[in-house]
Each structure stands twice: as structure tokens, then as C-alpha cells.
Amino acid sequence: MKIAVAMSGGVDSSVAAFLMKSRGHDVVGLTMDIWSCRNRAQVDPRVCCGPEAIRDAARVAEALGIRHSIVDLRRAFEDRVVGPFVSEYASGRTPNPCVLCNRHVKFGALLAKAAAVGATHLATGHHAIVGGSSDGGGRFTLRRAKDRLKDQTYFLYALTQEELGRVLMPVGELSKDEVRQCARDAGLHVAERAESQDLCFIPGGDLASFLASRVPTALRPGPIEDLSGTVVGEHAGIALYTVGQRGGLGLSRPRATYVLRIDAARNALVVGDEGDLRARGLVADELTWIAGTPPGGTFRACAKIRYASPAAVCEVELSGGRARVTFDVPQRAVAPGQAVVFYDREIVLGGGTIRA
């Protein structure tokens, strides 16, 4: 088969390309160019698809003896990832750009490019496993990776059946140590390359300056209030804070204080004690389901409310395009704008965006 491999310049995607080549496929490497910023020298060299990463991907392709192309996806990335990211922060929510990038760019625009070059499938370096349904129903499943610490299914919950039928994720069956050893054995120079960093598109990692250049109104000072409505301080702009944040508040109080809520309409932060951060549930919308349909109108599942959090047992009730989630044990710092992803043990069911 002719396989396109999404090569980010990192060790995972490089090993994915190596594995596809070693299995006898006709392989072509595709690397996204997403950088619309003028000063590329400010870009962290460790980031996914940054200028240095593009050079690394080309060097790996040369070492493997496969063709390599750079795909200009700057407009798609700006429109589908950066724009919504900025808008969400300005609205007092905490977005997850990796979810948007995977949904609209990697498995949208890049998958279309793979088809355009005649590839039947797109292979990626994601730590996740694509498989068939256990009941033999002909549907594809998305399962958690062998390496639980590197599992990336949280970012992939919006994949459709059509996309899963055209996607390969060969490193999902390997631990990170095994991936690096495979790269060493193959003589790939990226074997020890550092992990990619979050917020890859922000020059210098300076979120405040980035948002100030895009939405200066989101950095207007405003009141910090406690749960009684008493003003206890002043914030520097709602876009600089997220639910659960403790540092950077500039408050002098006898006990630790956390952001509980961001009120964009009033340009205010509401703060309180750590105990006040715990919520029995949440409401989510923009729901998608791996199987194409949910497992039922009401069902039990485990839910992750952020990438690094453990999955929590819950009940999910669907109504009017929304999911009302009730946790068995209250969860800390549920942040509107983040994704909630539902699991049935190892299987990803689907997910949505937290609204409240």
C-alpha cells in the first residue's frame, strides 16, 4: 500500500515512518508547515512542526530513503486552531488547541493531502491504538495506548469512523522507551529528541504577549471577588487565568486561594478555597462519538476532564445535544473550554467541550 506518514520531526512520527517502510509499504512523508508568525527564531526548537522540526523530518526521510513533502497548512491552522483558541480565552474559557489541531488539521487537511498524493492511509506517531470492534460489527475502535503515561486518546476523541478507517497509529502498541530504542536501532538522529511542548504556536511561550497582540480587550484589569461578592483584589485580564489556578493572583490572604470561576461578562474572577474547586458534575456540548452514535441516552462511563487527569467514574445523561455528567466523586477544577472524554475501560466512546 501507499502510506503517507505525518512527520512532525519527533521520535514518534519518525519511528512510525520507519515501521511503515520496514513493513514493505510505499511511504511518503508529509510535514505540516503551520507557522504564520514572522519571527521564526522565537519558536521553541522542541515544538511540533516548528522550523527545526521540519528540518529534522526531512533529514529522517532522507535517512529512510522515502520521499518527503512540506504541506502549507498555515491558513487552516490559523482559522481552525489559533482563531478559536484566542476567542475562547477572550471569553473566559480555557481551550485545548491540540484537540482542535487533531480534529481539523491533522485528520482534516493533512488527511485530505494524503489522499491527494494517492495514499490509501495516513500513519501518525500518536500513542493510541486503532482496532476493530470486539463484537465483529465492522466498526473501528480507538483504544488507549500501551504506554499509559503517553496515551493521547484524549486529543483524538472526535475522530470519525471514516477517518479511523484511513488512519494507522503503529507506535500505540509500543512504550516510549521501546519507541526510542527502535529509533536508535534504525540509526535515526531524533532518537533522543525532547518531547514536544504545549502551545506550540506561541513565540517564546509568552501567552500574555500573544493574547495582547490578538485581543487586547481580554487583558483589561478587573475585580477579583470572593464567593460573597466582596472585592479582594484586581486581576490583569481574564485571559491570563484558568479555573484551578493558584499563583499569579497577587493576593495576600491567610490561606491558599484559587480561581473558581471566570465571569467574562463582568470581567471578574471569583476565587475561594481549594475545597470550593470540587464539582459534582458538568455540562458539555459539541459532542462526537467514535461509533457514530452514543452508547445510550443514559450510561455509565469513566471521564477525563483534562489530559493529565485520571479518568473518573460518572453517569452521563444526554439531552438536546448536551451531556450532563455526574461524578461518583466530585472532581477538582472543572474548566469550561476543556474537553471531557468518555471511556469504557480501554475504549474511547467520544467526548465534547465543557460548557459549565
Residue tagged 485530505 (cell numbers): 112
Distances (CA, A) of 38 to 12, 42, 85, 90: 28, 9, 19, 23
Identified catalytic residue from 49, 98, 182, 200: 200
Q: What is the largest CA-CA distance in the chain?
A: 68
Alpha helices in the chain (DSSP H): 11-22, 51-64, 74-77, 83-90, 97-100, 110-116, 161-164, 176-185, 207-214
Q: Is 343 helix (H, G, I), strand (E, B) or coil?
A: strand
For residue 332, list its beta bridge partners: 278
Residue tagged 452514543 (cell numbers): 294
Q: Is 9 exposed, middle or buried (0-12, 13-18, 19+ CB in 10 A)?
A: buried
Q: Cell triple for residue 307?
A: 489530559
Rounded CA-CA distance 99/96 in Å is 6
Rounded CA-CA distance 184/61 in Å is 15
Rounded CA-CA distance 284/157 in Å is 14
| H/E run at residue 244 | none
Identified catalytic residue from 48, 49, 101, 314: 101
Residue type, 121: H
- 302 included as an active-site residue: no
- 37 included as an active-site residue: no
* Active-site residue list: 101, 200
